[in-house]
Amino acid sequence: MSHPKLLIASCAALALACSLITNLDGITTTSDGGNSNSLDAKAPVVDAGADVKDAKSPADTATFCMGQDADFCADFDESANLKDGWDNIVTTGGAALVESTKFISPPRAIHAGSSNAISDAGFLKVLSNLGKGFELKGKTLVRIEADVRFESAVYGADDYTQFISWVAQGNMGSPTLGVTGIVRTGANGWAMATATMGPIVYYPMTTPPPEDKWTHMRAEVGLGTTGTLALWFDGAIAIAMTSASTATSTPSNVGVVVGYGAPSGYSPAVGMTCDNVVVTLLP
């Protein structure tokens, strides 16, 4: 069996974008001001002794998102329409995006994934995810926080699944400048992966996320030719890169994608449950 990167070689330069992240059609930009409290991704301050919940507890507010000061928040609690607040929802190739009764803030979360191992069906992308576009307005650091529950699965050497993505663009609708994703692969394990004009670059996690249990994720991507990557699970640092190419030039927009993506024929039966997604744009 060939490696997934060979499957997507015909997708022009951005192999990662073509293979896994999402169809960005319909994503529009938003700019809500957001939180100006910048966090240095190279020197995070966390409480290592606690189950880190940087955002306010749902018990403190009517809903989780009512307690947030951010550019975007989705707790999936106010509406049974999972797309509410998002710009795009994509389900292709037999993958599913459904309401989940396993949640952190009641009454619901989302589950994205495939209940069956994906059979090889050519170059079809297998996707189940939600997308949201943002106008950066000079900001370059995009933070995503969420409560996530990754399912365990046995990965073959060529298997490749992506769960969360940052898509750097010039003006919305213009060519993609770079893609960064949180991925799990058979060859590289858990990693963050970037793709600009060259091959996919993998940055393995020093501390991978737990599987089959909830964990609080905080991930930050600095967008640019010399970008940054930082990732924490329950306050434990998993990645801290101060020099990673995340875009071929300075982007003016970014798309955030949450869910499941895989090249057809190269993913086990696996999925992710997600709740309380908070996106903040920082200088």
| Residue 270 dihedral angles phi and psi, to the nearest 5° | -155, 160
Lowest mean pLDDT among 21-30, 129-138, 262-271: 21-30
Quick check: helix, strand or coil at residue 128? Answer: strand
**Percent residues over pLDDT 90 in the chain:** 58
Q: What does the pLDDT read at residue 173?
A: 63
**Token pair in block for residue 213:** 């249990």
DSSP alpha helices (H): ranges in the chain?
4-7, 15-19
User: Does pLDDT of 168 surpass 80?
Assistant: yes
Q: What is the pLDDT of residue 255?
A: 96
* Per-residue pLDDT at 144 exceeds 70: yes
Q: Which of 111, 153, 126, 137 is nearest to 252 (CA)?
A: 137
- CA dihedral of 225, 167, 270, 87, whole degrees rounded to 10: 160
Integer Cα distance of 88 and 107 in angstroms: 22
Q: Identify the pLDDT of residue 196.
A: 92
- By the 8 A CB rule, do 154 and 268 touch? yes
Q: Which two tokens stand for residue 142?
A: 């995009």
Specify the pLDDT at position 207: 93
Cβ atoms of residues 71 and 278 within 8 Å: no
Q: Is residue 283 scored above 50 in pLDDT?
A: yes
Residues 6 or more apart whose Cβ sits within 8 Å of residue 51: 216, 234, 235
Residue 61: is its pLDDT beyond 90? no
Q: What is the pLDDT of residues 8-29, one digit of tens each?
A: 222 322 334 444 344 444 444 4
The single-letter DSSP state of residue 106 is T
Give the list of residues 6+ apart from residue 142 with CB closer than 8 angstroms, or none. Answer: 134, 166, 220, 221, 223, 254, 256, 279, 280, 281, 282
Answer whether 0.85 is exceeded by the pTM. Answer: no
pLDDT at position 232 is 98
> ∠ CA(185), CA(190), CA(194), 5° rounding?
80
Q: Which residue has the higher pLDDT, 63 or 57?
A: 63
Instruction: Give the tens place of pLDDT for each residue, 183-224.
Output: 999 999 999 999 998 889 999 999 999 999 999 999 999 999
Mean residue pLDDT across the chain? 79
Instruction: Convert the pLDDT of each residue in 172-182 to its tens digit.
Output: 567 789 999 99
Taking residues 75-90, report their average pLDDT. Answer: 92
HSE of 252, CA atoms in CB hemisphere, 13 A: 7
